[in-house]
Amino acid sequence: MLCYNVSLRNLSVQDMTKPTRAEREKILAMLPEDYMNPVQQDYFRRLIRHERQEVLDHIDQMKQQLQDNPETGDEGDIAIREEQLRLLFRQIDRESRLLPKYDAALMRLEKGEYGFCRDTGEPIGLQRLLLRSTAELSIEAKIKEEKVEIQYRKK
């Protein structure tokens, strides 16, 4: 799997701040022919960077939880702790898999490909991108992809 590592070291705090509700309303009010103009690109760049940083912060918190609680107590306490650790490892793994998706979305932004369906080249749409900033497929293309996956699973 291709993994883009977009450097975030030289970014100002403003580059990483979550876009405001007013900014969201502003981009939603834009005309369809303004799709992925510089204002919208900046909005999504900041949104993706903010979401990526939130994931990194949450991973750090979970890693701290792994180190915080020693294995002491009776067998029941130890069993509970082992189950908590297992769940933490799964969650860390799941969230770690999001990071390359954020990096790829930032790379698509830099290339001018962000917001357009990987399969059809059609606009993905602001509403979908606001719900899933890393989306690469339009809703129609995603439904088609999922139908194909279901067909392969049945075989």
pLDDT digits (tens, 9 = 90+) for 132-147: 999 999 999 999 999 9
Q: How many domains does the chain have?
A: 1
pLDDT for position 12? 54
Does residue 142 fall inside a structural domain?
yes
- How sure is the predictor about 1, in pLDDT bands with cuts at 50, 70 and 90? very low
Does residue 89 fall inside a structural domain?
yes
Give me the percent of the chain exceeding a pLDDT of 70. Answer: 88
Cα distance between residue 133 and residue 119, in whole Å: 17
Does residue 7 fall inside a structural domain?
no
Does residue 8 fall inside a structural domain?
no
pLDDT for position 7? 47
- How sure is the predictor about 151, in pLDDT bands with cuts at 50, 70 and 90? confident
> Which residue has 């602001």 as its token pair?
126
Does residue 125 fall inside a structural domain?
yes
pLDDT, one tens digit per residue, over 37-96 is: 999 999 999 999 999 999 999 999 999 988 876 667 788 888 888 898 899 999 999 999
Could you tell me the pTM of the whole model? 0.81
The CATH number for 21's domain is 1.20.120.910
Does residue 32 fall inside a structural domain?
yes
The strand pairing partners of 123, in sequence order, are 116
Q: Residue 6 pLDDT more than 60?
A: no
Compute how many other C-beta atoms are within 10 angstroms of the C-beta atom of residue 146.
11
Does residue 25 fall inside a structural domain?
yes
Domain that holds residue 80: 13-154
Does residue 48 fall inside a structural domain?
yes
Closest CA to 59 of 94, 17, 29, 27: 94
